[in-house]
Amino acid sequence: MATGIVGEFLDLKAETDADVLAMQCGDFYEFFADDAELVADELDLSVSQKSSHGSSYPMAGVPLSELTPYVNALVERGYRVAVADQYETEGGDHAREVVRVVTPGTVLETSDDDARYLAAVVRADGDGPDGPYGVAFADVTTGRFLTTTVADGGDLRAELYRFDPAEVLPGPRVRNDDGLLGAVREDLSGRVTAFGAEAFAAGRAQHAVREQFGRETTDSVGLDSTLAVRAAGAVLSYVEETGAGVLASMTRLTAYGAADRVDVDATTQRNLEITETMRGDADGSLFDTVDHTVTAAGGRLLSEWLTRPRRDRETLADRLDAVEALASAALARDRLREVLGDAYDLERLAARTTSGSAGARELLSIRDTLTLLPALADAVDDTALADSPAVAVLGRVDRDRATALREELAEALAEDPPKAKKGGGLLKEGYDDELDGLIERHEAVNSWLDGLAEREKREHGLSHVTVDRNKTDGYYVQVGKSVADQVPEHYREIKTLKNSKRFVTDELAEKEREVLRLEEARGELEYELFEELRERVAERAELLQDAGRAVAELDALASLATHAARRDWTRPALTDERRLDVEAGRHPVVEGTTDFVPNDLRLDADRGFLIVTGPNMSGKSTYMRQAALIQLLAQAGSFVPARAAEVGLVDGIYTRVGALDELAQGRSTFMVEMQELSNILHSATADSLVILDEVGRGTATYDGISIAWAATEYLHNEVRARTLFATHYHELTTLADHLPRVENVHVAVDERDGEVTFLRTVRDGPTNRSYGVHVADLAGVPDPVVSRADEVLDRLREEKAIEARGGSRGGESGDGERSGGDGDTQQVVFDLSSGSFAGDGSDSGPGSGSVSRNGATAAESEPSAAATDSDTATTEPRAAAGESDAADPVERALDAETRAVIAELSDVDVAETPPVELLSRVQEWQERLD
């Protein structure tokens, strides 16, 4: 058992649940034993050995003043770090205690401007299948604090994904739900921390919330949901327990409900690349494109608007009014942005004053930012913005109180205070009489000391006299050796140096005592006064947050206006009608990087479901994402990239697009696809916008078509959501004949002399062919492969081996009952070695469907969708090759290699394999067969 300092360290460590402990030992913070090794590894500190009662322990340390960056670096890496400070006991001994645990969700000095949330999640008691859940989010760096209740695990994940918390506290039941916890871990980069279950208990949580906000606030924000309160209470307890000292800056708790926001699930947030691209980069995201904010708080708010779009028309109309006014008043806008550019981050400064970490410079920043308020008002009042909601934004700040605070700070703070909080220079002369008196006396003694050398020279006729001070000797008079024997009698020699001697006198000793006393008294009083001032500022945290919020709002609005003006965006007309009518719309991000061809879009009561066809790479995804992004921008209060747009408000935006990232994560694509589809079918309503970019590709063709078909019927007949559905199943275009609100559109191409030009223009009606081979050419697939693919494609067309059918399917009545296909589908085996077809539409089995598809990679050559009822067995493309059908005469005639190739062929999932890869595999098979 270690004793001494290491023993104390280990004891303290055992008492905390932190990963690492930093313990103050005099002028250093030390890490011992395992912690020293860990810190050394993570942060490149050097380790020494500390001997303690016969044992030796690794030890690493940092000076007191440098602890913060080290702790923050550890916290950035996901560790929770306890800090133990040293204090003096009454008996004069040193003792230590943990004063703070810095965690990813409670760290105050963060390295960027982004919001940084701590989240708590609690699940309802009882045996509900999956939820409901209460979830609360607090950004301790700004005091922002929100809570809500969500229906199930999917909604919970969407909410967590939106806030992307740095630390999550799962309540007792969530903690035991491996599935949910695993999913949350996968979605988020933040840390999951097990925090005492008691904090989530209803009684205790309620108490914590009331203590913090008062009963009235709690009642008035309508926190009737126990779950939301439980989550919020747990957050408060945790913040308190970690000693962050920011509870006072958490001035408000906002309860929000699902009804306020557009439901954008986690998958859709990812698909639409709102704050980061599918590859995980911030560059190239929607936010990155439209962000022209000049303050950190403005950037945070704009990001929040985009990630949490709204449903209430009034709020949106206000924002749009402001954006419109700002967009058309270029000069006033520039002036406003110029003033905003000087603003500091008041929300964060408020948190730092309440935590006690703000120094004089931070208070000066507050003063300077408050000084901007009149300038902001000027920038708005007498300009083209005078009648805009921008005025109301500023109006929400209590300007009189802001002025009072500004004046108070202006009177107190010195103009250029030092960084150090202690040691003088923080406050202005005239701020406090007692302090002024001390300063005066201190300076009088100092000037006496300054003049001493001269006086001594003169009085005693000495040359070479200096007066100085150091740690060991205190103040002394130093006299050159040559004249050292001429000093007067009252000089007492204290030291002999090579060329000089040092002396003190009684008077000097007396002045030294005085100067030290005054120095200390002055420093102490000044710091005390400063702390009082800071506390008075902290008491007005709410005022600072209001002012900070106003700055942020003006900044975000001006940013939207700036982008609208630069890119010629238009104000969307918001309506409650179920429609999305866009004239000459563009994709907000893509338009910045290419010569974009604008397109129209109309979705309304008669035309609620568009099937989008067109060759690969023609622009289907872009067209559909553009629709979703225009919808989202409109409901964030932004202008939209179009000549004109009428946008019916939606309650949710749901997308399902290619599952590249899931593939990378090693999950079964088809399973993921079906989960996403199922989620959409459950969540979407007649007021939602649904974007489906290929459905059913992850399985065999007939399965795929059936699923896509059924999903279309369901969305059209039951859900009635506005829907855009891009598909390579050409068969689905016939749905337009049967379902009244389904229409076809296609992205046009121009084909001349075998050369395909993408026109990027969306037209009514279905397309009739696919151009995968052309894309392979563009992608640089070797010429022989491309020309061979062309040959194969031609053959397929010539021989009409496979007909695209399915016209007779689909329940016109909408009752889901399907009529059978027209039956006589032709099935053939495509012989790769000869490039021709063998056999006909018998139940030939092995790889029949797949073979034809491989050579062609063309949607047009997809097998018919006649796979219904009695046809199902005969057209099943997944029948195992070379096994059950070995009795087939065609099959038996094949050699082993051919059969192997066919077996491989039948295993290929054409729909899921990129055309380029298919082509190269065709080439490989060809070589093996030759």
* Positions that interact with ligand ADP (CB under 6 A): 590, 594, 596-597, 599, 614, 616-622, 760
With beta carbons less than 8 A apart as the criterion, state whether 566 and 291 touch.
no
Which neighbouring-strand residues pair with 261? 310
End-to-end CA separation in angstroms for the chain? 78
Least separation in angstroms between CB 597 and ligand ADP: 4
Least separation in angstroms between CB 734 and ligand ADP: 20
Write the DSSP string, 115-166: ---EEEEEE-SS--SS--EEEEEEETTTTEEEEEEESSHHHHHHHHHHH--S
Least separation in angstroms between CB 421 and ligand ADP: 54
- The smaller minimum CB distance to ligand ADP, of residues 509 and 644, is found at 644
Q: Determine how β-strand 55-63 pairs with β-strand 28-32.
A: antiparallel
Least separation in angstroms between CB 275 and ligand ADP: 20
Strand order in the sheet with 465-470: 465-470, 474-480, 500-504, 492-496
No. of helices (H) and no. of strands (E), the chain: 31, 29
Least separation in angstroms between CB 660 and ligand ADP: 12
Least separation in angstroms between CB 759 and ligand ADP: 9
Least separation in angstroms between CB 116 and ligand ADP: 34
- The smaller minimum CB distance to ligand ADP, of residues 392 and 590, is found at 590
Least separation in angstroms between CB 368 and ligand ADP: 45
- The smaller minimum CB distance to ligand ADP, of residues 47 and 597, is found at 597
| Pure H helices in 539-619 | 541-567
d(C-alpha 446, C-alpha 655), whole Å: 74
- The smaller minimum CB distance to ligand ADP, of residues 327 and 589, is found at 589
3-state secondary structure of 45: coil
* Cα dist from 930 to 631, 835, 898, whole Å: 54, 11, 10
Strand order in the sheet with 94-102: 48-52, 55-63, 28-32, 20-25, 81-88, 94-102
Residue of minimal Cβ distance to ligand ADP: 619
Least separation in angstroms between CB 659 and ligand ADP: 14
3-state secondary structure of 864: coil
- The smaller minimum CB distance to ligand ADP, of residues 58 and 641, is found at 641
d(C-alpha 571, C-alpha 214), whole Å: 42
Which of 518, 528, 538, 527 lies closest to 441 in space, CA to CA? 518
State the residue for tokens 């395992």.
Answer: 34
- The smaller minimum CB distance to ligand ADP, of residues 300 and 620, is found at 620
Which neighbouring-strand residues pair with 750? 757
d(C-alpha 283, C-alpha 273), whole Å: 10
Provide CB contacts within 8 A for 138, sequence distance 6+: 105, 117, 118, 119, 144, 145, 146, 235, 239, 250
- The smaller minimum CB distance to ligand ADP, of residues 165 and 614, is found at 614
- The smaller minimum CB distance to ligand ADP, of residues 327 and 632, is found at 632
Which neighbouring-strand residues pair with 478? 466, 502
- The smaller minimum CB distance to ligand ADP, of residues 591 and 646, is found at 591
With beta carbons less than 8 A apart as the criterion, state whether 446 and 424 touch.
no
Least separation in angstroms between CB 658 and ligand ADP: 9
Least separation in angstroms between CB 760 and ligand ADP: 4
- The smaller minimum CB distance to ligand ADP, of residues 534 and 620, is found at 620
d(C-alpha 628, C-alpha 580), whole Å: 10
With beta carbons less than 8 A apart as the criterion, state whether 267 and 657 touch.
no
Least separation in angstroms between CB 598 and ligand ADP: 7
With beta carbons less than 8 A apart as the criterion, state whether 347 and 545 touch.
yes
